[in-house]
Amino acid sequence: MTATPAKTELPKLAITCTKTNCEDNLHCFRSSKKLKEQGLDGACRDCHARLVDWPRVHERQLDDVEHTFTELRLELIRHHFWHVDIDERARNHALRKGRVALLGSVGNRVAKSVGVENPYRDGQQTPFQSNVLYYAQHATASCCRTCIEYWHGIPKGRPLSADEQGYLVDLMTLYINERLPDLPDGPTKIPRQRRGETPKS
């Protein structure tokens, strides 16, 4: 990885958790009361396609993680975070920490953002940019308790167990290792940009 100057402002992403592009096989499987009443729980919200083997995914088996990742990529928002370029601020943050420290912080992020019974502002606690951990959470459906419930079969309304947190940490770790294969183990010194400073070209 090479250092890149951080931008002072990040553009707002034109993506939401419920967005779909069914023509390109990118869906949203987040259910609703209406879908459940229609017997369409687990199907795409828009085209109603049933594509995910939910019982298999809900087993949460790391030795079956490639299948889980394949299923996750069928959802537009997960696909986005598996393929979008990681923004400069997030890349520089990862470089400053290095792989060892970055991966060492995953458990703390999971515990604080989604590990408790009722996370603060659940559904909005994971930003879309500026930290690779956020990318990892969205890509692996570890970003809020609603996504964790329907993707990983872990109910809301109670704290995550140590095993459940460990599973999410493992998914995020695999994501980070795949997306940042060249991240050095140790920290890289990168000058911090002053507020209002124009990024160098």
Residues paired with 21 in a beta bridge: 26
| Pairwise CA distance, residues 6 & 121, whole Å | 28
Specify the 3-state DSSP secondary structure of 27: strand
DSSP state of 63: G
Q: Which pLDDT score is estimated for 192?
A: 78
pTM of the predicted model as reported, rounded to 2 decimal places = 0.89
| pLDDT above 80: residue 5 | no
67-116 pLDDT, tens digit per residue, is 999 999 999 999 999 999 999 999 999 999 999 999 999 999 999 999 99
